């Protein structure tokens, strides 16, 4: 995963600068600033394909989500439940406190921006649902 130091001087990041990495089927991330594996703030972008299910999971720190493109759908709970999904559109924002299980399934191809504090770990609630193996 490409990272940048939180002590970098002013810089501008364009979409062409991003280095995308597949993390689960249908989902890629790119680090925009900081390093999610180290203490301190970071920003990542996440691209998820329409209909790609993101299983119930939680993070070690609070996750702030801003929809940049597409229609994202996100729910809270320990099991993926399509009836609990709430639509989010470009410009919409959500905050998910640390350790709160949540899941997603975008209606369209989406790009969301995630802002959080590191170190940041993703834990899938049910290991059998973990697409990372």
Q: Where are the domains of the chain?
A: 15-129
C-alpha to C-alpha distance for 28 and 133, rounded to whole angstroms: 16
Angle at 87 between CA 84 and CA 92, to 5 degrees: 130
- Nearest Cα neighbor of 1 from 19, 27, 26, 24 is 19
Q: For the sheet with 110-118, list strands across it.
A: 21-24, 27-33, 40-48, 110-118, 63-69, 93-96
Distance CA 110, CA 128 (A): 26
Distance between CA 46 and CA 65 in Å, rounded?
10
pLDDT at 7: 56
| DSSP bridge partners of 66 | 93, 113
- pLDDT by residue for the chain (133 residues), tens only, comes to 555 555 558 889 999 999 999 999 999 999 999 999 999 999 999 999 999 999 999 999 999 999 999 999 999 999 999 999 999 999 999 999 999 999 999 999 999 999 999 999 999 999 888 888 7
Question: Given this model, what pLDDT does residue 9 score?
Answer: 81
Q: Could you please state the CATH topology (level 3) that the domain comprising 15-129 is classified under.
A: Jelly Rolls (2.60.120)
Q: Give pLDDT, residue 4.
A: 52
């Amino acid at each position: 995963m490409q990272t940048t130091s939180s002590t970098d001087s002013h810089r501008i990041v364009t979409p062409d600068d991003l280095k995308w990495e597949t993390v689960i089927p249908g989902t890629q991330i790119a680090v925009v600033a900081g390093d999610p594996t180290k203490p301190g703030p970071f920003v990542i972008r996440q691209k998820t394909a329409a209909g790609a299910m993101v299983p119930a999971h939680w993070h070690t720190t609070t996750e702030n989500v801003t929809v940049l493109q597409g229609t994202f759908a996100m729910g809270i709970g320990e099991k993926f439940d399509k009836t609990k999904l709430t639509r989010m559109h470009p410009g919409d924002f959500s905050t998910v406190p640390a350790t709160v299980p949540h899941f997603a399934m975008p209606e369209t191809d989406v790009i969301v921006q995630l802002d959080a504090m590191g170190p940041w770990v993703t834990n899938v609630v049910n290991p059998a649902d973990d697409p990372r193996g």
